[in-house]
Amino acid sequence: MFYLFWLILGLIAVFPLLWVVNKLDFNAMQKVLGLSLVVAAVLYIAFAIIWGSSTWLVIEIMGVPAYGVFYYLSQKYTCIWLTAGWFLHPVWDVLLHFNGPGSHVVPGWYSLACVSFDVAVAIYILYRFRLEKISSEALV
């Protein structure tokens, strides 16, 4: 029951971000959500500093460039890379922190809320990508 509560909380928490980026053009939306993915990875560094150890700090620091690569690739090629980054971030949440060896680093509720938050962002990017594609095809 509590799992559902935290998943719903993640959907509520993502609403302001999606509301803001919905007002932006496609490129600006992609930049904001790309930077947001990097910030999401940085938040885990704070958890490692507060609750973790130096080992977990190193692991969490490695997540920042890993997710930064998805943002970079989305700027260089296609936003599908950014979508992949947002879809993969819940794997980090669940395998490392919710059910994994880093469960002492990040609270379980945060990991669950991040799952729904991250998936909602990924789906939104696909939605905007589809709209962008349709509008560019209409211009041809």
pLDDT digit string (tens) for 107-120?
A: 889 999 999 999 99
Q: Does residue 140 register a pLDDT over 90?
A: no
Residue 36 has pLDDT above 80, yes or no: yes
- Conformation bin of residue 42: beta by default, left when phi > 0, alpha when psi is -120 to 50: alpha
The Cα 22–Cα 132 span in angstroms is: 12
Task: State the residue for tokens 């500093």.
Answer: 49
Whether 43 and 61 have beta carbons less than 8 Å apart is answered as no
Instruction: Give pTM, 2 decimals.
Output: 0.92
pLDDT at site 139: 61
Rounded CA separation 112/98 (Å) = 7
State residue 54's pLDDT score: 87
